């Protein structure tokens, strides 16, 4: 087996990641992976003819630990006489403002920092230390959420952005091999410096799912998942070329005019010729629909693609009522006689959501559902007070106000007897709801926290004073 | 949500699985899934206009239980006045003769039975009770072994064979929904009647991997994996059409003749024009290579496809030595000046394997490796005799003769601290061996059982009399 740096140089050459004369900013968090990337590229810099600098971003979280990471990376750059790019941000503030997770906020800030390095011509590309293990985690998460070849492509060796490239030279190296390399080099690293990147889901895939699958199904499961990514990436490249060529051929310009002919369209949106779409194989139809939606800046999930194809398939049937599929992000698809129109959703369509205060105890009638939702102090209250402590029960803060509302994308909920929160979207999936039912499905929220979802077993709820709270829905 | 039979009829129509007037033999093991399939199709037979019969195969294993399954299914057919196709086979005998697993033998026998029903015109198609859960298990197993879109397509709704079709009308129904349906109908079933189908790997995916992934990552993981299959199936259909069209365009007839020109080829095999292959996108190149291999009746794994592409990429390099990739099944690919030739592997190429007896205690020199492998009674024997019972230790039967040999496809081994056997192929993967190293990698076998693999931690070995046995390799 080749020494590690030699394997990395082969990977860099096979994917034309770096060219002689380029400035490469190595993103170093201080964790093992990125420190190893720096040391390996230092070994290779003469062979590759590159000029190395170090980039480190301080996310404004993890206090003294993050300061120590920064100092460690600065020391590393200085020891090797490398130029250092440093910047700071406030991930927690950004997360709060944009209502996104801390990891997402941290990633966005870091990516902005990389983009700035490239825009200011401080480097031709930024090198990040994603490993084969990161790739396997990504592919597994995508598969477990139902991806096609785009999702299964996982992390790309190279990502081109406006001002330059992000490259990942370690994408075929195992995390453990990097640690062995560092130990052999007697190079220290900062444990946990990079764990900020871990989303809740990735963390569980890394620490629970993959070790179990390795033991139970395939000892080289990470390599297998990396193969899935490699195969899917080539196919995705192929599809991108095909769809870029085909999409203009099925798009109809303008809008049908009353009395025949077409008028130039005032509105935003895209129309697709149904007959031309239908001449394509199913796989191409699906990709054309997704590409049309992406042109408008809204994605399409698999169920939405299927719903649109179902609209077309049943268009000949008499009495087919539904001619619209909602896409979210303010867009929808409407079936016309000869075309599918991607158009801005009318306001009234999206205003049927609801959010109603629910007192404890109390009840509220939800007109959109035709039902009443009640919060009441449970009758077995006396018994429950003496019951042993239940670690899974949810205690509401005194100030909590309950709100009955329709669920929203991004809502998460921990059902009874589950150890972790799930996306409400995924909890609803097995219920096989119609689009309309799904859109209006009720939840009860206490502040940011969902404490009840219709038809899903709720954890035990207790008020601040320890009383047991029941939430019930009835049709009267 | 629609009642279950109505959902099944929609699925049957959407995929044109059954046509009015057809005879449908429902494969009924007696387990819940297949009994539910029968009852649902009985509800639908007027609506679909089909004639139903029942097919049951007795595999000659599970003794009285299997007899009772057969009697149960016969009773079910009689109660509904349905024609019954019964047959028996001896799965254990077949497994022994062909050196295949019992599940594989059972499946082959059953498929032969279905083919016979179709050939003898007893039915136009056979309906089997594969569910969405079976689909999810299949897709997950494929992903965890590194599949492309063919593997990820999982179970197809329809499989066409020479004499008719196998159809799977329940592929979008959950196993649990079938049980609910049966309970509502007060219809009994035979528990475990179908578990014969479970391979070791599928059983672990079903009972361990999926429940864990459902809990840790995605509560609707089965639906997500079924989406992966649905997307992949449409793409696979597209690719089949493309590759069927493209393959003849890159194949070169005949062989290059000495002195220029081409002569008609005597030998079997296929040649591919390198330049024409290289004009195609990478995804198409990969699929063309696999299609060429399949034309010859030998598969190509991802690593072999990559190795052939690597041969081509380095053909311009001076001193590139290796011009051959072994495919197995007696075939190999050889790089010529302008073409890739798929040809019969020469005998001498495949005869470098070895199998040498190893006495206890004793040693044997393996010329192919240049090393000596020793079996010795361990020095800590006295202590080990008093040591507490180790449930993971392997005790060799008295008659066991050890054999040192190169590993073979299909070999399985349980490393130390693992609860189950792994494929040796997959254990070797993380070692990043060259093709040559991998081919000759040594194992020690006691009868059918692999007890030692170079570089892999072995479980504790004991002789029949309880002495501790060590196996060691040295280069002197």
Best mutation target among A283, A284, A418, A435 (most B Cβ atoms within 10 Å) is: A283
- Cα–Cα distance, B111 to B100 (Å, whole number): 15
Is there a contact between A149 and B208 if contact means CB atoms under 8 Å apart? no
A238 interfaces chain B, CB cutoff of 8 Å: yes
B416 interfaces chain A, CB cutoff of 8 Å: no
A145 interfaces chain B, CB cutoff of 8 Å: yes
> CA–CA distance from B264 to each of B252, B253, B267 (Å)?
11, 7, 9
All residues at 6 or more sequence positions from B437 whose CB lies less than 8 Å from its CB, including other chains:
none
B246-260 average pLDDT score:
79
Chain A from 433 to 462: CB within 8 A of any B CB:
433
Per the CB < 8 A criterion, the answer to whether B172 and B48 are in contact is: no
- Which chain B residues touch A455 with a CB distance below 8 Å? none
Size of interface A-B (CB pairs under 8 A): 169
pLDDT digits (tens, 9 = 90+) for A15-62: 999 999 999 999 999 999 999 999 999 999 999 999 999 999 999 888
Report whether pLDDT(B385) > 50.
no
Lowest mean pLDDT among A379-383, A449-453, B123-127, B344-348: A379-383
Q: What is the pLDDT of residue A79?
A: 97
A282 interfaces chain B, CB cutoff of 8 Å: yes
pLDDT digits (tens, 9 = 90+) for A231-265: 999 999 999 999 999 999 999 877 666 666 666 55
Per the CB < 8 A criterion, the answer to whether B26 and B122 are in contact is: no
For residue A470 the two structure tokens come to: 């029941």
Q: Which of B148, B149, B430 sits opposite A220 (nearest CB)?
A: B430
- Which chain A residues touch B219 with a CB distance below 8 Å? 415, 422, 426-427, 429-430
A361-381 average pLDDT score:
78
Is there a contact between B148 and A232 if contact means CB atoms under 8 Å apart? yes
Angle between helices A221-250 and B132-144 (to 10 degrees): 110
Q: Which of A218, A418, A431 sits opposite B144 (nearest CB)?
A: A218
- Cα–Cα distance, A446 to A403 (Å, whole number): 7
A314 interfaces chain B, CB cutoff of 8 Å: no
Q: What is the pLDDT of residue B351?
A: 45
- Which chain A residues touch B302 with a CB distance below 8 Å? 227, 230-231
Q: Is B179 exposed, middle or buried (0-12, 13-18, 19+ CB in 10 A)?
A: middle
Q: What is the pLDDT of residue B379?
A: 61
Is there a contact between B224 and A148 if contact means CB atoms under 8 Å apart? no
A15 interfaces chain B, CB cutoff of 8 Å: no
CA distance B63 to chain A (A): 30
Q: Among A58-67, A333-342, B116-125, B203-212, name the most confident range.
A: B116-125
- Cα–Cα distance, A169 to A37 (Å, whole number): 8
Q: Which of A148, A231, A235 sits opposite B302 (nearest CB)?
A: A231
- More confident: B82 or B459: B82
Q: What is the DSSP letter of B419?
A: S
Domains belonging to chain B, first-starting first, are 4-237 (3.40.50.620), 253-348 (3.30.465.60), 353-474 (no CATH)
Nearest residue in B to A240, CA atom = B281
Best mutation target among B180, B210, B238, B419 (most A Cβ atoms within 10 Å) is: B238
ipTM comes to 0.73
> What is the full DSSP assignment across A411-435?
-EE--TT-SS-EEHHHHHGGG---H
CA distance A258 to chain B (A): 35
Quick one: which of A348, A368, A373 has its CA closest to A436?
Answer: A368
Per the CB < 8 A criterion, the answer to whether A451 and A460 are in contact is: no
- Cα–Cα distance, A138 to A153 (Å, whole number): 9
pLDDT digits (tens, 9 = 90+) for A77-115: 999 999 999 999 998 888 888 777 888 888 899 999 999
pLDDT digits (tens, 9 = 90+) for B301-359: 888 898 899 888 887 776 656 688 888 777 889 988 889 999 887 654 444 678 888 88
Quick one: which of B217, B276, B222 has its CA closest to B246?
Answer: B276
- Which chain A residues touch B241 with a CB distance below 8 Å? 281
- Cα–Cα distance, A254 to A251 (Å, whole number): 10
Dihedral pair phi/psi, residue B4, rounded to 5°: -55, -50
CA distance A320 to chain B (A): 15
A278 interfaces chain B, CB cutoff of 8 Å: no
Nearest residue in B to A146, CA atom = B224
Per the CB < 8 A criterion, the answer to whether B238 and A284 are in contact is: yes
B4 interfaces chain A, CB cutoff of 8 Å: no
B407-430 average pLDDT score:
84
pLDDT digits (tens, 9 = 90+) for B15-54: 999 999 999 999 999 999 999 999 999 999 999 999 999 9
B311 interfaces chain A, CB cutoff of 8 Å: no
CA distance B458 to chain A (A): 15
């Amino acid at each position: 087996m080749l020494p590690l740096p030699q394997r990395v140089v082969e990977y860099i050459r096979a994917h034309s990641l770096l060219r002689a004369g380029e400035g490469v900013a190595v993103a170093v968090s201080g964790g093992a992976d990125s420190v190893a990337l720096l040391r390996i590229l230092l070994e290779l810099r003469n062979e590759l003819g590159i000029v190395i600098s170090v980039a480190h971003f301080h996310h404004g979280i993890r206090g003294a630990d993050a300061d120590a990471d920064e100092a460690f990376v600065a020391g590393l750059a200085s020891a090797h006489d490398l130029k250092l790019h440093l910047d700071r941000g406030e991930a927690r503030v950004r997360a709060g403002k944009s209502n996104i997770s801390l990891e997402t906020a941290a990633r966005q800030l870091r990516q902005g920092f990389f983009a700035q390095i490239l825009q200011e011509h401080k480097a031709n590309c930024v090198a990040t230390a994603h490993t084969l293990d990161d790739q396997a985690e990504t592919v597994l998460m995508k598969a477990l959420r139902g991806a096609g070849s785009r999702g299964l492509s996982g992390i790309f060796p190279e990502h081109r952005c406006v001002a330059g490239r992000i490259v990942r030279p370690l994408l075929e190296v195992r995390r453990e091999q990097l640690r062995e390399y560092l130990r052999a080099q007697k190079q220290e690293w900062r444990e946990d410096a990079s764990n900020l990147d871990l989303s809740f889901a990735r963390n569980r895939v890394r620490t629970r799912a993959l070790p179990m699958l390795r033991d139970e199904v395939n000892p080289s499961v990470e390599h297998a998942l990396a193969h899935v990514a490699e195969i899917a990436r080539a196919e995705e490249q192929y599809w991108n070329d095909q769809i870029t060529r085909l999409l203009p051929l099925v798009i109809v310009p303008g809008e049908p005019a009353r009395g025949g002919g077409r008028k130039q369209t005032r509105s935003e949106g895209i129309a697709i010729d149904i007959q031309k779409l239908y001449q394509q194989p199913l796989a191409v139809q699906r990709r054309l629909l997704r590409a049309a939606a992406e042109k408008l800046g809204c994605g399409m999930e698999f169920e939405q693609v299927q719903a649109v194809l179902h609209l077309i398939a049943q268009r000949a049937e008499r009495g087919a009522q539904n001619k619209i599929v909602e896409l979210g992000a303010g867009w929808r698809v409407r079936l016309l006689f000869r075309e599918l129109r991607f158009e801005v959703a009318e306001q009234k369509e999206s205003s049927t959501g609801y959010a109603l205060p629910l007192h404890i105890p109390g009840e509220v009638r939800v007109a959109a559902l035709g039902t009443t939702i009640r919060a009441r102090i449970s009758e077995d209250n006396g018994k429950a007070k003496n019951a042993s402590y239940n670690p899974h029960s949810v205690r509401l803060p005194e100030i909590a106000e309950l709100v009955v509302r329709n669920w929203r994308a991004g809502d998460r909920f921990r059902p009874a007897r589950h150890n972790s929160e799930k996306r409400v979207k995924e909890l609803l999936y097995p219920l096989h709801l119609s689009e309309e039912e799904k859109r209006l499905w009720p939840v009860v929220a206490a502040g940011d926290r969902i404490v009840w979802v219709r038809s899903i077993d709720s954890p035990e709820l207790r008020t601040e004073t320890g009383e047991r709270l029941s939430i019930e829905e009835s049709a009267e």
